[in-house]
Amino acid sequence: MQTQTAREAAARAITEAVAEAGLETELPREGSFLVTIPGRAKLKTLVWLEVGPHSLGVTSFFCRQPDENHGEFYRWLMQRNSGMFGMAFAADEVGDVYIRGRLPLEGVTPEEVDRLLGCVLTYSDENFNRALELGFASAIRKEWKWRAERGHDMRNLRAFAHLAEPHAGTEPAALPEGPS
């Protein structure tokens, strides 16, 4: 019975925290919350909060497996882990990367949920562009060239201008300002 009470308290804490933050939330099943957090580098971060019998699981997809530079990509992510609070980067069986964590149910308060969601957002947003540079530089260069040749919008590639080969009219200074 105490486990059920702890689970109910954790679910209430999550509900309160996401409502207070004004975050979009889906409830696909009892004890499961899919929270959408807007970001800057990574425009949207989805976070699963799963209330289990003894702990709250936190899972957020970070990015798919890299196309190249695997060793450096994963080494860099593992180095980030030492400074992370309550969670870490982890790879699944195909190499896709997630941010995962676990918190005892007794520690689940609205303030802790807010802190966990803030940490996921920070780790996802602050590391996203560097991870793309390390694992997807060739694809970024190819996309840059394709868009430049066709005069397509380059705003969401602006952060990667330093990876692109110079093309007429697409130098970093010539990129339009505005949201990426």
Say how far apart CA 57 and CA 49 lie, in whole Å. 6
Q: Looking at the domain assignment, is residue 12 inside a domain? A: yes
Tokens at residue 162, please? 């330093």
pLDDT level of residue 76 (50, 70, 90 thresholds): very high
Whether this prediction's pTM lies above 0.75 is answered by yes
Count Cβ atoms within 10 A of the Cβ of residue 123 and give its class: 0-12 exposed, 13-18 middle, 19 or more buried. Answer: buried
Q: Looking at the domain assignment, is residue 78 inside a domain? A: yes
Q: Looking at the domain assignment, is residue 28 inside a domain? A: yes
* Pairing between β-strand 97-104 and β-strand 32-38 as defined by DSSP bridges: unpaired
pLDDT for position 29: 95
Q: Looking at the domain assignment, is residue 64 inside a domain? A: yes
Q: Looking at the domain assignment, is residue 178 inside a domain? A: no
Q: Looking at the domain assignment, is residue 69 inside a domain? A: yes
pLDDT per position as a tens digit, 116-168: 999 999 999 999 999 999 999 999 999 888 988 998 888 878 888 888 865 43
Reported in sequence order, the residue ranges of the chain that DSSP labels E, i.e. its strands, are 24-29, 32-38, 44-51, 55-63, 87-91, 97-104
Say how far apart CA 57 and CA 149 lie, in whole Å. 45
pLDDT for position 162: 87
Q: Range of 67's domain?
A: 2-137
Q: Looking at the domain assignment, is residue 41 inside a domain? A: yes
Please count the structural domains in the chain.
1
Q: What is the CATH number of the domain that holds 49?
A: 3.30.1460.10
pLDDT per position as a tens digit, 1-13: 467 899 999 999 9
Q: Looking at the domain assignment, is residue 173 inside a domain? A: no
The number of C-alpha atoms within 13 Å of 64 and in the hemisphere containing its C-beta is: 3
Q: Measuring CA to CA, which residue among 142, 101, 107, 105 is closest to residue 119? A: 101
pLDDT for position 166: 59
C-alpha to C-alpha distances, 105 to 22, 27, 47, 92, 119, nearest whole angstrom: 23, 19, 17, 25, 18
